[in-house]
Amino acid sequence: MTPSQKTIGALCCLAILFVSCDEELGPVNEPSGFSGVIRFKNWPPATDIKEMRLVAFEDIPADSATVIPMLIAGKAAVYPPLPGDYFQALVDSVVYEFTDKSGTNLQVKEYKYVAVMYQFGPNIFHDWRPGGVYSTGPGEFDAAPIRVILHRVIPNVDILVDFHNLPPLPWR
């Protein structure tokens, strides 16, 4: 084989490698997480809600008193407070992107219970309940797990919070 044939052969191999590359070799700094829309219905009086957060739990909380300890222990990831004065404005929906790049402790792993949790009373350690849960289908309350995948944001993780039809407490 002549040197020019070797060069042509090497160039052909390189061309085949470049043509066969796809999106999987994208930037390694892309975020990991999930996104969607939180829809609200039938708001209670503004004084009934102290704080509201989107929380991804590794396991289903045992009771309302385990919510904060799970966060402290790193067994749950919490989204920043839902922006704005929702309780006064009574918005219909919020678009969110919950990623490891959004100032959260979200990690690449499976979260078994993803819920909009709200604080209904003055005790930050005990007065929490789910307002809505990511579920298997519309109108369902069976929690659907979310597996956070490295460098991918999973779309359409939508949650309905209907204050006249709250999900059952998972710790019952």
Give the mean pLDDT of the chain: 83
Q: What local confidence, expressed as pLDDT, does residue 145 receive?
A: 96
Nearest-CA neighbor of 54 among 110, 124, 128, 165?
128
Question: How does pLDDT run across 60-69, given as a tens digit for each residue?
Answer: 998 888 999 9
Residue 84 in this model has a pLDDT that exceeds 70: no
Beta carbons of 141 and 168 less than 8 angstroms apart: yes
Ramachandran quadrant class, 80 (left: phi over 0; alpha: psi -120 to 50; beta: rest): beta
Range with the largest mean pLDDT of 3-7, 31-35, 39-43, 88-92: 31-35
Beta carbons of 116 and 53 less than 8 angstroms apart: yes
Residue 15 in this model has a pLDDT that exceeds 50: no
Which residues, other chains included, contact 9 with Cβ-Cβ below 8 Å and sequence gap of 6+?
1
Mean of pLDDT values over 129-135 = 94
Domain ranges within the chain, ordered by starting residue: 27-162
